[in-house]
Amino acid sequence: MPETAPWQALEMQGLVSILLLSHRRAFDCPLLASDRPGTSRRLTAQELFNSSMAVLAHNNAGDPALTYANATALRLWKRPWNEMVGMPSRLTAAQSERKERAASLRQALARDAINTYSGIRVDRCGRQFMIRNARIWTLWDEEGRRCGQAAAFSSWWWL
């Protein structure tokens, strides 16, 4: 039997459900066109992973670690899944950009969501890129507790 891709694992399917439900709660619109009742969690997880927009999530630890990165995000940051997921999310930005990034994440947390975030990020090799009009939203678990944050964006360019 073939090994299950990490983004298809049951816990990731659950996280994808949280991502989608929390996005709908924050922005009153679906993140994916296929986000509708009755769609298989496995199919939805695969669609989010293959989306052309970059999607990432981190937990709400003191030093948040990435819990999800789709294929577009993995390509942008030039990292494989097993290196990206689990990495401190602050490392997605250059040292000089981390203070501004942290302030924006705090603002998004206070409002539960923002949809016009722009900032500079850095890939594994040190190359910087600008993201524009990113949506950042709070993730809520099934018990209504905050369990992290997610971001999605479709606009970026290399610096």
Contact (Cβ atoms closer than 8 angstroms) between residue 137 and residue 29: no
Q: How far is CA 126 from the centre of its chain?
A: 20
**Higher-scoring residue by pLDDT: 85, 38:** 85
Residue 92 in any domain: the answer is yes
Backbone angles phi, psi at 9, to 5 degrees: -60, 150
Domain count within the chain: 1
Would 1 be classed as within a structural domain? no
Mean pLDDT of 42-54: 95
For residue 23, is it within any domain?
yes
> Which domain, by its residues, includes 83?
6-158
**For residue 83, what is the domain's CATH number?**
3.30.450.20
Domain membership flag for residue 104: yes
Asked if residue 137 belongs to a domain, the reply is: yes
The answer as to whether 40 is a domain residue is yes
> For residues 42 and 8, is the Cβ–Cβ distance under 8 A?
yes
Query: For residue 1, is pLDDT > 60?
Result: no
Question: Would residue 46 count as lying in a domain?
Answer: yes
Q: Categorize the per-residue pLDDT at 2 as very low, low, confident or very high, splitting at 50, 70 and 90.
A: low
**pTM for the model:** 0.94
Residue type, 83: E
